[in-house]
Structure 1
């Protein structure tokens, strides 16, 4: 058995969870926060048989596409008048970070 840990953007999570459940995969959802943009993420825990790992990853890739977003930089720039103005930058968001780990023991009580 394998445990798939998928960290996805909050806006991608609901549809992904629906599709995984429609395909009979049990999913545990955890709220998490990203480091760089400090935006909300969803961490999904999905336990599957070894043969199903590629199928689950294919579904995740389909529903968690990366895209560009304009945001303000955490660092501020100074204007000559001494006023701080946020600096806008374009960043990649979305996609997924996926870990697949072995499960030594699984019990459902």
Structure 2
């Protein structure tokens, strides 16, 4: 058994959840926030058998594409030494961060 932790941008989350459901995968959705842009993310916890991990990752890769976006300011990262930009800055957003973790024990009660 494997646990796939997929962190995706909110913009991609609904399409990804629909596709995972269509393909018969169950998941738990957590609302999370990214550290750099302080934007909304969705973290999905997906439990699956080892032989289906590649299928889940393929679905995530097809749905969650990276894209470029211009931002006009970046929230400070802490304290009074935070960084602000006065000119628009191009950043890459979207895609997914995926972790695959071994599950020693799984029990549904």
Check whether TM > 0.5: yes
Structure with higher Rg: it is 1
> 1: distance between equivalents of 2:19 and 2:31?
19
Flag the structure with higher strand content.
Answer: 1
* Number of residues of Structure 1 aligned to a counterpart in Structure 2: 101
Superposed CA RMSD in Å reads 1.0
Q: What aligned pairs does 1:8-87 form with structure 2 within 5 A after superposition? A: 8-74=8-74, 75-76=83-84, 86-87=86-87
Displacement, 1:87?
A: 2.4
What TM-score do you get using the length of structure 2 for normalisation? 0.89
Shift of 1:90: 0.5
User: Aligned equivalents of 1:72 and 1:31: distance in 2?
Assistant: 25
Corresponding residue for residue 106 of structure 2: 106
- What do residues 28-59 of structure 1 show as CA deviations (whole Å, max 9, x unaligned)? 10000001100000000000000000000000
> What does the per-residue CA deviation read over 1:13-37, in whole Å, with 9 as the maximum and x for residues that have no partner?
0010011011110011000000110
Unmatched tracts of structure 1, length 5 or more: 78-85
Q: Moved runs in structure 1, 4+ residues, more than 2 A?
A: 73-77
